Amino acid sequence: MANREYSPEIGDRVGVLKNEGTFTVTAVDRVFRAANVRLMFSEYRLEQVPWDGLVSLKKMSREDVNQAVARIVMEATRIALPADERDPSYLEIGF
């Protein structure tokens, strides 16, 4: 679901619910809480899209992406391991 707190700015990259692709905000109407958007690399446009129908696609740095991936892998691994194997001492190798 779209973030109700999001207020788009001209130039923001957004997703539009029920539409595929990345759009760029070309105009913002603060009175009616709507925006005009254009599909990137295309002339396809949508007008007066309610803010509730927009999903912000803020740029993420490579480090942000790597941290998100690491967190997801860690959480998935934690869930997949049996309870007794979640103890870090289990991972210690003793020769």
Query: Tens of pLDDT along 43-87?
Result: 999 999 999 988 888 765 566 656 766 776 776 666 555 555 555
Task: Give me the pLDDT at residue 85, please.
Answer: 55
Per residue, the 3-state secondary structure of the chain, as one string, reads CCCCCCCCCCCCEEEECCCCCCEEEEEEECCCCEEEEEECCCCCEEEEEEHHHEEECCCCCHHHHHHHHHHHHHHHHHHHCCHHHCCHHHHCCCC
In CATH terms, the fold of domain 1-82 is SH3 type barrels. (2.30.30)
